[in-house]
Amino acid sequence: MKRFSVLLLMVFFSSFFLAAFEKFWPSLTITSKKDTEKLFKNYFVIEDAVAINAKKWIRTKHDIEIAYPIQKKDMATVLLDFESYPKFMPYLDEITILERTDNTVTARHKNVIRILGYAYITVYTMKYEWEIVDGNLAMEWSFISSDGTLLESGGGCSIDSVFVDGVEYTRIRHRNNSLVRKDFPAQEAIMRLVGTSEVENIVKAVYKECKKRSAGK
């Protein structure tokens, strides 16, 4: 009886972790080339600022998917090449690797957004964890600390591939949920106006880097 109980417990936990892992895989339906390179939003939300610890914070949440004509192994290579991120990621000025294991990286980032001669700087530390299953990459990130510009941040990125007319298309799903400090009155409105395109620019930058590296082979 005791052995049976242990077995049931093992099955339960295995099923739990498998379900939690798989629910974030890309789900975008690709039936032809026209379905690719177009952003699909599962959701994109910018909430009105709320007061926490005498400061105002804006909740921003997104879950987007898109597919590009690139091999998934090439995209996985780029996504795991953290040291090169400042060369192609929008606004990322510096990245410092603080700790690394076989499937985790802890890194400090310095983002610089320059608008009308003003530089808005954000410094934050995140931990990345990933797993590769049948060549498909699933990565999650969690917030550790910031210079005060972020209160929370977490999400993930996962890729797999589909074939259409013999061509491999890599589907990428990018999710994030953050609390960003409110620094000026129209901030929510501006974030709602440009937010979707800014997120798309992140995944597009990864695709462009993939193409650049492929061309150089």
pLDDT band at 116 (very low <50, low <70, confident <90, very high): low
pLDDT at position 57: 97
**Residue 184 in domain:** yes
**Residue 102 in domain:** no
Q: What is the CATH number of the domain that holds 65?
A: 3.30.530
**Residue 27 in domain:** no
Query: E-assigned strands of the chain?
Result: 40-46, 50-52, 55-68, 92-100, 104-115, 118-133, 136-146, 150-164, 167-181
Share of the chain above pLDDT 70, in %: 88
Task: Please tell me the distance from the alpha carbon of residue 117 to that of residue 126, in angstroms, as a whole number.
Answer: 28
Residue ranges making up the domain that contains 69: 38-88+126-215
**Mean pLDDT for the chain?**
89
**Residue 21 in domain:** no
**Residue 166 in domain:** yes
**Residue 149 in domain:** yes
pLDDT at position 15: 44
The number of folded domains in the chain is 1
**Residue 146 in domain:** yes
The pLDDT tens digits for 12-44 are 444 444 444 444 899 999 999 999 999 999 999
**Residue 119 in domain:** no
**Is-contact 135 73, C-beta < 8 A?**
yes
